[in-house]
Amino acid sequence: MIDEHDAPDEGDLPAGEAAVVPEEVAAAVRTLIRWAGDDPTREGLVDTPRRVAKAWKEYCAGYADDPARHLSRVFEEVGGYDEIVLLKDIPFQSHCEHHMAPIIGKAHIAYLPKDHVVGISKLARVLHGFARRLQVQERLTAEVADCIWDNLKPQGVAVVIEASHACMTARGVRTPGVSMVTSRMMGVFRDDDRSRKEVLALMGC
Ligand SMILES: Nc1nc2c(ncn2[C@@H]2O[C@H](COP(=O)(O)OP(=O)(O)OP(=O)(O)O)[C@@H](O)[C@H]2O)c(=O)[nH]1
Ligand SMILES: [Zn+2]
């Protein structure tokens, strides 16, 4: 069993910085290299377990994040603005929990404020906080929407995610060019047809 305290948080280290990797993790990567058919002791692969371990800490940095914390700072004074706020085409990366293969896509995140707004970068921070974990796209979509709904308490939240799954393009059914689209509508975007149409039109969906 790996003690969490032994595992350094490599995600924030500058690229190339020497990192201490628990032996158990390095051994697992060496096993995987052998399973793939190569020799983990050959020169080009000797440092690979350390690099892979460090890379996975970075891919999965979301486990060390509480995305809700990004929504704690709000602005009350926004000149009476009471229309939709949309952050469009946010690129993100995740990994599917079935194959640990990359999910690469973009998200549109919108909300209709009630009393206050949030700094717009925070919507992308919430997305990355959940994306940098092992995911299925449906859960990622729901977690982002629920987090904004619960913490900002707006009149509505709409999240649409479009992504390509490497487990479908690079292996398995090997069907490139396919994307998966998921959405979660809450509040007025769920209950009111006109509001939903408006937000989807702004998103270009
Ligand atoms: N619904 C959903 N499915 C996903 C996601 N990411 C990967 N998958 C699918 O998860 C499924 C896992 O199916 P399994 O039959 O258990 O695994 P598998 O034998 O590797 O399946 P194939 O990918 O068809 O070769 C596959 O159909 C994947 O396409 C996701 O985010 N959402
Ligand atoms: Zn997969």
ipTM for the predicted complex comes to: 0.94
Evaluate if residue 112 carries a pLDDT over 70: yes
Domain 75-203, what architecture?
Answer: 2-Layer Sandwich (3.30)
Question: Which residues are annotated as catalytic?
Answer: 96-99, 137, 165, 167
Q: Does 167 show up as a binding residue in the annotation? A: yes
Ligand 1 site, residue 98, Cβ cutoff 6 A: yes
Q: Does 96 show up as a binding residue in the annotation? A: yes
Evaluate if residue 144 carries a pLDDT over 70: yes
CATH 3.30.1130.10 domain span(s) along the chain: 75-203
CATH 1.10.286 domain span(s) along the chain: 10-59
Query: Percentage of the chain with pLDDT > 70?
Result: 91
Cα-flanking dihedrals φ and ψ of residue 131, to 5°?
A: -70, -30
Spatial CB neighbours of 122, under 8 Å, sequence gap ≥ 6: 70, 71, 73
Class of domain 10-59: mainly alpha
pTM of this structure: 0.90
Residue whose C-alpha is closest to residue 108's, from 153, 154, 157, 146 = 157
Q: Does 60 show up as a binding residue in the annotation? A: no
Ligand nearest to the CA of 102: 2
Look at ligand 1, atom 14, and give the residue with the nearest C-alpha.
98
